[in-house]
Amino acid sequence: MDFRPIRLEDKSLIEHYVRAWGLINSSYTFTNLFIWGHSDNILIAEEQNVLYIMFCFGGRINLLAPIPESTQYDYEKAVNIGADYLKSIGKPVRFAYASESIYEAFSTQCHGAHFELDRGNCDYIYNSADLITLSGKHFHAKRNFINRFHSIYPDYSFVRITPDMEAECASVFSEWLHNKNVLLPGMEGEGPAITRLIRNMDTLSVFGGGIKVRGRLIAASFGELITPKIGLVHIEKANDLYSGIYPMINQSFSNAFFGHTELINREEDMDIEGLRKSKLSYHPKMLIEKYTVSFEEI
């Protein structure tokens, strides 16, 4: 199999494959594949009308669940091609991030498949109206944080982020990173991923929004539409020295860009305790479960 780095011109190709399976799993969005592949850490290959995606991080190689061009494709055949490649490079036969229709294909067509839930990479899905209105007793604390932000920073403003604001966004990321554990999952390479996203916002069909206080950007969020009815938040960073800033940017961004959607995907928690607590506090409608699929013999 001839794997190669992802480039901007691969957008229509990858989305063609993903769309055929109706995936709303954030791991397969072109934006995520492109921005996190900034150091050629993510590679793709086409083989017999099947898309294969390889993650190469920290010396580890993971092959994602293959995506045939059609749901009518013999999925076991697609898996066997990937399995032969993994064995040829001395890696165990294992496929990551199987979800939704891909999970069904594995479970109904592939003999001997073993499924392990990858809880840290499950996507959190919310009702858009919940994140915009924050109505009801479940969101009482969130409303209090936002009201406090309004009272402390009455001169704040919500702004649309454009590529010429790269330096301001980098400053927000630097402030967010202060006192963080750089060894936590996802930390490595996040700065370059954000830079790559901002510089290619228009081509990626990504929009950005931020909060300014006295003319200074203190929070930034970026997202896109997976479908006309489903929004996706890729990145959300803020200077948490400003009390209530996270509920503020979350609600403001959702209201500005996802008012016409039904659902919002806010991606995974990467098994980070604080991030999981935060995502659960917004009472998700559901999780998109992602599984690692392995085979004892294939």
| pLDDT score recorded for residue 178 | 86
In a domain, 285, yes or no: no
| pLDDT score recorded for residue 127 | 98
| pLDDT score recorded for residue 256 | 98
Tokens 């980070």 appear where? 272
Helix (H, G, I), strand (E, B) or coil at 258: coil
| pLDDT score recorded for residue 296 | 77
In a domain, 275, yes or no: no
In a domain, 272, yes or no: no
Does 144 lie in the same domain as 28?
no
- CA–CA dist 232, 236 (Å, integer): 11
Does 78 lie in the same domain as 176?
no
Does 131 lie in the same domain as 255?
yes
DSSP 43-111: EEEE-SSEEEEEEEETTEEEEEPPEESSTTS-HHHHHHHHHHHHHHTT---EEEEE-HHHHHHHHHH-T
In a domain, 276, yes or no: no
Does 261 lie in the same domain as 144?
yes
Question: What is the helix, strand, coil percentage profile of the chain, to 5?
Answer: 40, 25, 30
Does 147 lie in the same domain as 54?
no
In a domain, 246, yes or no: yes
222 contacts: CB under 8 Å, gap ≥ 6:
161, 197, 198, 201, 206, 207, 208, 233, 234, 235, 236
- CA–CA dist 118, 129 (Å, integer): 28
| Cβ(246)–Cβ(198) below 8 Å | no
Does 158 lie in the same domain as 58?
no
Count of CB atoms within 10 A of residue 59's CB?
A: 5
Does 199 lie in the same domain as 70?
no
Does 197 lie in the same domain as 69?
no
| Distant-in-sequence contacts of 243-246, Cβ < 8 A, 24+ apart | 243/145, 243/148, 243/149, 243/152, 244/145, 244/146, 244/148, 244/149, 244/152, 245/149, 245/211, 245/218, 245/219, 246/145, 246/219, 246/278
What's the pLDDT tens digit per position in 220-241?
999 999 999 999 999 999 999 9
Does 77 lie in the same domain as 30?
yes
**What kind and span of H or E run contains 42?**
strand 42-46
The pair of structure tokens assigned to 209 is 């929004």
In a domain, 160, yes or no: yes
In a domain, 117, yes or no: yes
Helix (H, G, I), strand (E, B) or coil at 195: helix
Instruction: Give strand pairing partners of 57.
Output: 60
Domain extent, residue 109, equals 4-122+290-295
| pLDDT score recorded for residue 181 | 72
Does 222 lie in the same domain as 93?
no
- CA–CA dist 188, 81 (Å, integer): 31
Considering only CA atoms, which of 228, 236, 227, 201 is closest in space to residue 131? 236
In a domain, 35, yes or no: yes
Count of CB atoms within 10 A of residue 7's CB?
A: 11
| pLDDT score recorded for residue 111 | 93
Report the domain count for the chain. 2
- CA–CA dist 46, 259 (Å, integer): 37
Domain of residue 174, CATH code: 3.40.630.30
Residues of the chain with pLDDT under 50: none
Does 54 lie in the same domain as 113?
yes
Does 88 lie in the same domain as 117?
yes
